Amino acid sequence: MSEWTSDFFDQSNPLYLTVDAGIGTLVLNRPHKKNAINMETWDHMPAYIAALENNPEVRVVVVMSSTEGSFCAGADISEFADIALDADLRERQRVGIREGQRRLARLKKPTIAMIDGPCIGAGCGLSIHCDFRIASLRSKFGITPAKLGLIYPLNDTKHLVDLVGPSHAKKILFTAGIFSAEEALRMGLVDEVVQVEDLELAVKAFAASMVPVSQYSLRGIKKSIQRILDGQADDDDTTSKWFTDAHTSSDYKEGVDAFMAKRKPKFTWND
């Protein structure tokens, strides 16, 4: 289900959405569990992400918590005993995590994780599948399968290595440590650290800076970057066509006309 329905806005759900001024938010909403993510939440996450992707009003997506000071404590460990005893549940969990995070990583619109407080395990996994991470000074980070005798999935590990490099990725995973926001910034695990009271404004300002640019350009560039991360090192017929076709787009004409007229462009392309 990816149609835009009132259920997506229901603030009693473990996930809910909002849309305002071109910015859509995916809100984690299990405050009684410090937003620990259970299997039901993973099961439903792809539909919420698809709803944001398919809504033409949404140009940028922010992943955030409904609760100040608590981004996500990780996976819901209360489910682990049952998962350990049931192969079907283990496979459901594996697929649910992979599909939710992969859909987020490959969302055609830019994504920002707005992090305040603990960002541990599954929460950190969600954040590294976003394009950007902005955190408050009181945030803490960790990826801790080594504390539980688990092995981090290869897809998640690749995202972590792409983000911070192999040495820092090994430090994060081998020690199962908890790192301050400042150390996360030094490692490249986050892009910016701000005071708690400045977090929402910083994220909104950054998101708003991507709303008026050409969405044709932005989404094409994001696709190109994803191909590089997937291992492509040079143009093929598809990427060459992206470059040449851009010169016939409505946004290209508007951009050139606006530049020549010394006015701000009003891009209209949206898909």
Q: What is the DSSP letter of 269?
A: -
Q: Same structural domain for residues 191 and 234? A: no
Residue 107 forms part of a structural domain = yes
Q: What percent of the chain has pLDDT over 90?
A: 96
CATH code at position 236: 1.10.12.10
CB 101 within 8 Å of CB 129: yes
Alpha-carbon separation of residue 40 from 75, 96, 175 (angstroms)? 11, 9, 29
pLDDT value for 6: 83
Q: Same structural domain for residues 158 and 98? A: yes
Domain count, the chain: 2
**Domain region containing 50:** 6-210
In residues, how long is the chain?
271
Residue 269 forms part of a structural domain = no
CATH code at position 92: 3.90.226.10
Q: Same structural domain for residues 203 and 219? A: no
Q: How confident is the model at residue 3 (pLDDT cuts 50, 70, 90)?
A: low
> Strand, helix or coil at 56?
coil
Residue 236 forms part of a structural domain = yes
What is the model's pTM? 0.96
pLDDT (tens digit per residue) in 256-269: 999 999 999 999 99
Q: Same structural domain for residues 97 and 67? A: yes
pLDDT value for 21: 96
Q: How confident is the model at residue 1 (pLDDT cuts 50, 70, 90)?
A: very low
Q: Same structural domain for residues 254 and 181? A: no
47's tokens: 């539909």
- Using the CB atoms, write b or e for 108-137: b if 16+ within 10 Å: ebbbbbbbbbbbbbbbbbbbbbbbbbbbbb
> Strand, helix or coil at 30?
coil
